[in-house]
Structure 1
Amino acid sequence: MNKDELVKEVRETAEGYFKRGEFFCSEAVVKTINDLLGKPFSDDVTKLASGFPIGVGKAGCLCGAVSGGVMSLGMVYGRCHGEAMQDEMLPKAQELHNHIKSIYNSTCCRVMTKDFEFGSQERKNHCIKITGEVAAYVAGKLYDDGKIPCNSCK
């Protein structure tokens, strides 16, 4: 599978979780990326993302999908107790932030969704698209960095 095919599949997977109501934005991104990486963490890792939808517990602040994306980057570039911070972690998180901000002019949930009535299908569709974009972006970066354990990836 080449990069474009992989990124498309990841986007569709994350969007599907949200669209079907299986997960919200942050959870969909974390679940999708954990699976992509070959499950370095148990499925329970998705629980860590459960408080981030709708801008951190419905507070409307940082977009839940972006939060899930940062957590997903941490699966690869994060550290454990006693380890030094990996040089890539903070720049990768900032790059994700800047990427989403360049598309949506913000990473704040309430700003990104201000044109949609809460609970409307239009808002949900908008958030599904953002979720897919974050998951696809993270997958593309992990692919570029050779971090995806996939014998068929070329």
Structure 2
Amino acid sequence: MNQAETIISIKDRARKNFSKGFNCAECVFEAVLEHIETDLPKDVLKLATGFGGGIGLYGDTCGAIAGAVMAVSAIHGRSALPHNEDRKKAMNMAAEQLYGKPGLYRIFNQIPNKIHSKYGYTLCREITTLWQDQWLCRDHALHCREIITDAAEIAAALITGDKETISSEPFGRNVENL
């Protein structure tokens, strides 16, 4: 499967997952786990469950964003910290991995920025404000399914894209004004 086909397959699976009863985070994470080799056991999907509804329906960061971050982390995340006998050098190496150009935060920063760009928000309670009195209605489900599909596409593109390129992109909105 080429990159475009993989992205489409992940988007389609995430979209279908929602109609099977997966929550927003599970939809995205499971779709990536199904189509991308991560060497992670299938039980790792359990980690996504609590992120639905902006973390247990609390309404914070959209679960589809959390699922996308988890999926991209499964490929591009760190499995160990840089090691150096000199503590300061080790800290500098770790900071360079995250903040540098290329840097891992440049990859992950794209996910909420792209969702925010399209939907105006990243918090579940703001994205779904129209349906808070009728949470499980059809319009709400259709809206969330679109966000899930978009988050899956973003994750798939970041996973299948050239790591050097995507990790060198400029930061979008961020807490450090980088």
SS for the counterpart of 2:56 is: coil
Give the structure, 1 or 2, with the largest relative contact order (CA under 8 Å, sep 6 or more).
Answer: 1
Question: Residues 76 and 159 of structure 2 are in contact (CA less than 8 Å); yes or no, is this contact kept in structure 1?
Answer: no
Which residue matches 2:125? 110
CA distance in 2 between partners of 1:89 and 1:36 (Å): 22
Aligned residue in 2 for 1:14 = 14
Q: For the residues of structure 2 that align with 1:135 and 1:93, how far apart are their CA atoms?
A: 13
1:135 is aligned, of 152, 158, 176, to 152
8 Å contact from structure 1 (residues 74, 89) kept in 2: no
Structure showing the higher helix proportion among its residues? 2
Q: What is the match of residue 37 of structure 1?
A: 36
- TM-aligned CA distance change 1:7 to 1:82, over 3 Å: closer
Q: Gaps (5+ residues) in structure 1?
A: 147-154
Q: Could you tell me whether the CA contact under 8 Å between 1:34 and 1:40 is conserved in 2?
A: no
1:2: Cα distance to partner? 4.0
Q: Secondary structure at the match of 1:54?
A: helix
Within 2, Cα distance between the matches of 1:50 and 1:61?
15
Q: Provide the rounded CA distance (Å) in 1 between the counterparts of 2:81 and 2:122.
A: 31
For 2:58, the aligned partner's letter is A
The CA distance in 2 between the partners of 1:31 and 1:40, in whole Å, is 14
TM-aligned CA deviation for residue 40 of structure 1: 1.9
Quote how far apart the aligned CAs of 1:80 are: 2.3
Give 5+ residue unaligned stretches, structure 2. 83-93, 164-178
Counterpart Cα distance in 1 of 2:77 and 2:148: 21
Q: TM-score, normalised by structure 2?
A: 0.75
Using the size of structure 1 for normalisation, the TM-score is 0.86
> Aligned equivalents of 2:73 and 2:55: distance in 1?
18
RMSD: 1.9
Is the partner of 1:29 in helix, strand or coil? Answer: helix
Q: Secondary structure at the match of 1:55?
A: helix
Alpha-carbon displacement from aligned partner over 1:8-61 (angstroms, at most 9, x marks no partner): 22111001011121x111011111112222242111111001100001111011
Q: Percent identity between the aligned chains? A: 30
Residue deviations 1:88-108, cap 9 Å, x none? 321111111100000000100
In structure 2, C-alpha distance between the alignment counterparts of 1:39 and 1:142, rounded to whole Å: 11
Residue pairs, 1:62-73, within 5 angstroms: 62-73=61-72
Moved >6 Å (runs of 4+): none
| CA–CA separation in structure 2 for the residues paired with 1:7 and 1:69 | 13
Q: Which has the larger radius of gyration?
A: 2
Shift in Å, 1:81: 3.7
